[in-house]
Structure 1
Amino acid sequence: MKEQWWQEEVVYQIYPKSFYDSNQDGIGDLRGITEKLDYLENLGITMLWICPIYQSPMDDNGYDISDYRAVAKEFGTMEDLEELIGEARKRRIKIMLDLVINHTSDEHEWFQKALADSNSPYHDFYIFREGDREPNNWRSVFGGSVWEKVPGRKEYYFHAFGKKQPDLNWENPKLRERLYEMVNWWLEKGIAGFRIDAITFVKKDLSWKDRHPDGADGLAKCTKAARNQPGIGTFLHELKEHTFDRHECVTVAEAPGVPYDELEEFIGEQGYFSMIFDFRYADLDIASGSEWFKRIDWNIRDLNEKIMASQMALQKYGWCANFIENHDQPRAATKYLREDETDQEAVKTLGAMYFFLRGMPFIYQGQELGMRNFKRESIAEFNDLSSIDQYYRSLEEGYSEEEALEFVNLRSRDNARTPFPWKKEQFGGFSSVKPWLGMSEEYPAINAEEQVGREGSVYEFYRSMISFRQKGPYHHCLIYGNIKPIASNENVIAYQRYTQEETIYCWFNFSREESVEDMPQQEAETIWSSYGEAEIRGAKLVLKPYQSLLLRGRTGGNDNGEE
Structure 2
Amino acid sequence: MSTKWWQNEIVYQIYPRSFQDTNHDGIGDIQGMIDHLDYIQELGVTMIWVSPIYKSPMVDMGYDIADYQDIDPQFGSLDEFKVFLSEAKKRHIKVIMDLVVNHTSDQHEWFKQALADPKSKYRDYFIFKTTDDGDVPNNWRSIFGGSTWEPVADEPNTFYFHTFAPQQPDLNWENPALRQEIYQMINWWLELGVAGFRVDAITHLKKDLDWASLPADGSDGLVSVIKKGQNRSGIDVFLNELKQETFDKYDAITVGEAYGVPEKDLKKYIGPNGYFSMIFDFSYMNIDVLNTDEWYRGRSQWTVKDLREALFESQQVAGQVHGTLANVLENHDQPRVLSKLVPDKHDQTPTAAKALATMYYFLPGVPFIYQGQEIGMKNFVRKDISEFNDVSSINNYQMALKDGYSKESALASINDKSRDNARVPMQWNNSNFAGFSDTEPWLGMGNDREGIDVQTELADENSVLNYYKKLGQLHHDLAWQSVITTGDFQPIDSLPETVIGYQRILDGQVLTVFVNLSHELAEFDAHNVGDVLEKVGDITIDNDHVKMAGYSAVVMGLNDN
2:14–2:370 Cα contact (<8 Å) kept: yes
Which whole-Å CA distance do the structure 2 matches of 1:290 and 1:390 have between them?
9
In 1, Cα distance between the equivalents of 2:313 and 2:534?
25
Partner of 1:315 in structure 2?
A: 319
Amino acid across the alignment from 1:369: I
Q: Per the alignment, do residues 108 and 528 of structure 1 end up closer, same or farther by CA in structure 2, a change over 3 Å counting?
A: same
Q: Which residue of 2 aligns with 1:252?
A: 255
Matches within 5 A, 1:83-232: 83-131=83-131, 132-154=134-156, 155-232=158-235
Aligned twin of 1:13? 13
8 Å CA contact 2:537, 2:551 repeated in 1: no
- 2:138 maps to a residue whose letter is N
Runs of 5+ unmatched residues, structure 2 = none
Distance of 1:9 and 1:116 partners within structure 2: 46
CA distance in 2, matches of 1:528, 1:182: 45
1:306 paired with 2:313, answer no
Q: Tell me by how many angstroms 1:45 deviates.
A: 0.8
Counterpart of 1:546 (choices 530, 551, 556) is: 551
1:384-428 Cα distance to aligned partner (Å, 9 max, x none)? 000001111112222211111111000000000001111111111
Counterpart selection for 2:355 from 349, 357, 360? 349
**Partners in 2 of 1:397 and 1:540 — Cα distance?**
52
Question: Does 2:501 align with 1:494?
Answer: yes
Following superposition, the deviation at residue 272 of structure 1 comes to: 0.3
- Could you say which residue in structure 1 is the equivalent of 2:289? 286
Q: Which residue does the alignment assign to 1:559?
A: none
Matched with 1:415 is 421
State the AA in 2 paired with 1:213: A
1: distance between equivalents of 2:2 and 2:291? Answer: 35
Question: Following the alignment from structure 1 to structure 2, what is the Cα–Cα distance between the partners of residues 336 and 57?
Answer: 34
Distance 2:188 2:540 in 1: 52
Residues 118/341 of structure 1: CA separation in 2 closer, same or farther (3 Å cut): farther
SS of the aligned residue for 1:8 comes to coil
Q: How many angstroms does 1:527 deviate by?
A: 2.8
Secondary structure of the 1:541 match is: strand
Shift, 1:342, TM fit: 2.9
Q: Establish whether residue 329 from structure 1 lines up as the match of residue 331 from structure 2.
A: no
CA distance in 2, matches of 1:129, 1:368: 47
CA contact (8 A) 2:503 2:511 kept: yes
Q: CA deviation at 1:551?
A: 2.3
Alignment equivalent of 1:518, drawn from 500, 512, 525: 525
| Matched position secondary structure for 1:256 | coil
Counterpart check, 1:390 vs 2:396: yes
Partner deviation per Cα, 1:460-508 (whole Å, 9 max, x = no partner) = 0000111111125212111211212101111100011111331222111
> Shift of the alpha carbon at 1:444?
5.3
Shift of 1:193: 0.5
Q: CA deviation at 1:2?
A: 2.1
CA distance in 2, matches of 1:523, 1:378: 51
3-state secondary structure, aligned to 1:74: coil
Matched, 1:504 2:511: yes
Structure 1 residues 523 and 351: alpha-carbon distance in aligned structure 2, compared to 1, 3 A threshold? closer
Q: TM-score, normalised by structure 1?
A: 0.96
- 1:523, CA displacement in angstroms? 6.3
Alignment root-mean-square deviation, CA: 1.5
Separation (CA, whole Å) in 2 of partners of 1:524 and 1:13: 33
Equivalence for 1:35? 35
1:78 aligns with 2:78: yes
Q: 1:326 touches 1:364 (CA, 8 Å); kept in 2?
A: yes
Offset of residue 299 of structure 1: 1.2
Distance in 2 between the 1:296 and 1:514 partners?
A: 24
Q: What code does the residue aligned with 1:302 have?
A: D
Greater shift, 26-35 or 292-301, is seen at: 292-301
The residue that corresponds to 1:63 in the other structure is 63
2:338 counterpart of 1:338: no
Please list the CA deviations of residues 317-349 of structure 1 after superposition, one character each: whole Å capped at 9, or x if unmatched: 210000010000000000001214532111100
Alpha-carbon shift at residue 201 of structure 1 (Å): 0.4
**Whole-angstrom CA distance in 2 between matches of 1:492 and 1:278:** 20
Matched AA of 1:504: L
Q: Secondary structure at the match of 2:212?
A: coil
SS class of match (2:237):
helix
Deviates more, 1:421-430 or 1:291-300: 291-300
CA distance in 1, matches of 2:200, 2:532: 40
Hey, what's the Cα distance between the residues in 1 that align with 2:291 and 2:231? Answer: 16
Query: Is 1:297 aligned to residue 304 of structure 2?
Result: no
Equivalent position of 1:560 in the other structure: none
Structure 1 residues not aligned, in runs of 5+? 557-563
Contact 2:379–2:448 (CA<8 Å) still a contact in 1? no
Do the aligned residues in 2 keep the contact of 1:423 with 1:444 (CA within 8 Å)?
no
TM superposition shift of 1:532: 6.3
Could you state the TM-score of these two structures normalised by the residue count of structure 2? 0.96
Structure 1 residue 208: deviation in Å? 0.5
Counterpart contact for 2:22–2:31, Cα < 8 Å = yes
What displacement does 1:184 show?
0.3
Query: Could you tell me how far 1:544 is from its partner in structure 2?
Result: 3.1
The amino acid of 1:299's aligned partner reads T
- 1:546 offset after TM fit, Å? 2.2
Change beyond 3 A, Cα 1:442–1:76: farther
Deviation at 1:376, TM superposition (A): 0.4
Greater Cα offset, 350-359 or 472-481: 472-481
Contact 2:529 2:556 survives alignment (8 Å): no
Offset, 1:15: 0.4
1:240 paired with 2:247, answer no
- Residue aligning to 2:383: 377
Equivalent residue number for residue 52 of structure 1: 52
- Is the 8 Å Cα contact of residues 215 and 397 (structure 1) preserved in structure 2? no
Match of 2:295, as an amino acid? W
- Specify the alignment match of 1:561 in structure 2: none
1:324 counterpart letter in structure 2: L
